Amino acid sequence: MNKRLDRSEIGFKIVAYFLLTIFAVACLYPFIYAISCSISGKEAIESGKIILLPINVQFAAFSDIFQRTSFWLCYANTLFLTFFGTLFSILVSIIGAYALSKERLPFGRALNFLLVFTMWFSAGLFATKFFYDLTNNAFKSIGIIDEKWMVVIAMSLNAYNIVLLRNGFRGVPKEIEEAALVDGANEFQIASKVYTPISKATIATVALFYGIARWNGYFWVAQTITTEEQIPLQVYIRNFLDTYVKGTDTTFDKEVFSVQSLFYCMIVASVIPIIIIYPFIQKYFAAGVNLGGVKE
C-alpha cells in the first residue's frame, strides 16, 4: 500500500528536484558550449553569437587536431601517466591502508595520527618538490631518467585516499580474517584475496580519485617534466593557449576556422576518456565513499 505524502514532504521534493535540475544544467552547460564552439563557424564564434547550440557547423578544427602529431603524442603521455600512475598509487595505497587498519601494527596510533596530520597541515610546495628531487636523484643514480616515471612514483600518494581505504578495510568482518589465518594464509594472501575483493567498491572509488587527479594534473608535471616530447596533454593545451594569447601560433589556417574552435576541440578531446570510463565505475562511487568515509 502506497503511503501518501503530506504537504511538507511534497514541497521538499519539489524544491529538491528543482535545485538538482538547476545544478545539473549548470554542470552540463559548459560541456555543451565547448562542443558547440568546437564545431561552429569562424564568424559566429568571433562575434560571440554562440549561446548554446552551434552555428554554421563545420569540422575543420577537428580535422586539424587529428593531423597534429604533437597533440596525440601528448595525449599518449597523459594516458601513460594516468594508467601507470593510478595503478602504482592504488597498489601502494592498498599496502599502506591495510597496514594502518591493523591494531597490532607497532606504533599504529602514531602513524595514523601522522597520516591525518598531513591533511590538516600540509607541508606545502617545498616538501613535495624536495621529495620529488630525492626520488629523481635516486633513480638517476641507477640509470632511470624517464621524467614520466618520476611523476608516477614521486607523486603517488594522497592521505585522504589512504584514509578512505583504511576505513574501508576496518569494515571487513574480523571473523573472515581469522578464518583465513586458520587456513594458513599469510598477510599478503589476506590482503590480496580477502580484503581487496571485499573492498572493491572503496578501491574503485579511490582509483577514480587518483585517475582524475592524474588526468587533470597540471602544476607538478609542468614543473618537473622539461622534455617537450614527454609533456602531458594539459601542459600542451596550456602552452597552446599561451601562444594564442601572445599571437605567435601560426600552425593553423585562420581563414577557415577560429583559433577558439581549435582550443575547444582540444578540451573536448581531453575529456572523452573520463566520460567513457566514469559510467563503468560510477556504481561503486556512492558505496565506496560510504564504506570508506565512515569510521565506526
- Domain of residue 284, CATH code: 1.10.3720.10
The span from the CA of 77 to the CA of 95, in Å, is: 27
Per the structure, the complete domain to which residue 119 belongs is given by: 61-293
> Which residue is associated with the grid cell 622539461?
226
Report, as an integer, the average pLDDT of 66-88. Answer: 89
39/162 same-domain check: no
31/152 same-domain check: no
95/4 same-domain check: no
Q: What is the pLDDT of residues 82-141, one digit of tens each?
A: 999 999 999 999 988 888 888 888 887 888 888 888 777 776 677 777 777 777 777 777
Length of the chain: 296
Contact 93, 162 (CB under 8 A): yes
What's the pLDDT score for residue 4? 64
Q: With bands split at pLDDT 50, 70 and 90, how would you rate the model's confidence at 296?
A: very low
Q: Which of 41, 58, 75 is the last residue of a domain?
A: 58
Domain count, the chain: 2
17/107 same-domain check: no
41/134 same-domain check: no
Q: Which of 58, 83, 101 is the last residue of a domain?
A: 58
47/76 same-domain check: no
Q: Which of 58, 81, 105 is the last residue of a domain?
A: 58
Question: Is the pTM value of this prediction over 0.85?
Answer: no
Instruction: Count Cβ neighbours within 10 Å for each residue of 203-219 and write b for 16 or more, e otherwise.
Output: bbbbbbbbbebbbebee
Report the 10 Å Cβ neighbour count for 117.
Answer: 11
